[in-house]
Amino acid sequence: MNTKLALSDKETIQFREVSFHINDIPARAIVSCISLAVSNGETLVLLGRSGSGKTTLLRLINGMLLPSQGEVLVQNCSTRDWDLIRLRRGIGYVIQDAGLFPHFTVAENIGLVPSLEKWDRYRTAVRVGELLTLVGLDPSEFAGRHPRELSGGQRQRVGVARALAADPPILLMDEPFGALDPVTRAELQREFSALARRLGKTIVFVTHDLREALLLASRIVLLEAGRIVATATPQEFLRLDHPEVRAFTSSLAVPSGIPA
């Protein structure tokens, strides 16, 4: 997508000078002075080491956390003013362990938000079938299974399908592929990248994996110790001259001594 066009689009999510402190103690800031706008339809990747505040930013978007200072706007309304239940039903959420409900079948997991939204059974069943197909799982084989009968990769696919169930305009993803083996991870990253382009959702994606960020992002935001240190497209990012950027780019290097 053309970046100029994206910038002129309506901004779906906006952080205005946001800080978040534990128990409102400024000395215990997790994120400080974050100003950031996420445009409609872009995939924004929050990149950073563990503890850099990525997950906190994500949780500020769906109101699981409320800012200590500043405000977070979702569709031009502060998360303080949103009915949080309504807000969250319009935002898909995928986490590392998928967090599937172990006592529900795959179909019940995916159909949860539709059932909360009182969709009728037929409409939900059709939607579950569509979504399973979309994430590459055969509905007739997987709909009736329980999460314990799935591999890690399949669970993550169901997690993505569940997040998309009620067709939310926004998708939040917290290291969704982080716990997978490298081969499965690469496979899911490729598929998700294609899926994201096709769906046109506004996606905020948290990762500590630069390779993943470069593959998926329309824009990368680099965080260090709770502050934004760089914002760039994947092409620009690699050319940035900042110590934390170099720390990440050097992590891409192939170990020396191994023949190419």
CA 188, chain centre distance (Å): 14
Binding mask 103-122 for another protein (x = CB under 8 A): x--------xx--x------
Q: Which is nearer to another protein, 44 or 110 (CB)?
A: 110
Closest CA to 134 of 160, 115, 109: 160
By rule CB under 8 A, what string of x and - marks binding of each residue 121-150 to another protein? -------------------------x-x--
257 contributes a contact to another protein by CB under 8 A: no
Decide: is 64 part of the binding site for another protein (CB under 8 A).
yes
Nearer to another protein, 124 or 218 (CB): 124
Q: Is 152 in the site for another protein (CB under 8 A)?
A: no
Nearer to another protein, 16 or 146 (CB): 146
Parallel, antiparallel, or unpaired: how do β-strands 202-207 and 43-48 relate? parallel
Which region holds residue 243: left if phi is over 0, alpha if psi is between -120 and 50, else beta? alpha
In degrees, rounded to 5, the angle at the alpha carbon of residue 20 between the alpha carbons of residues 101 and 221 is 80
Q: Which two tokens stand for residue 57?
A: 């930013």
The answer to whether residues 12 and 74 touch, using CB atoms and an 8 Å cutoff, is yes
Q: What does the binding site for another protein look like in residue numbers (CB under 8 A)?
A: 62, 64, 84-89, 91, 93, 95-103, 112-113, 116, 146, 148, 162, 172
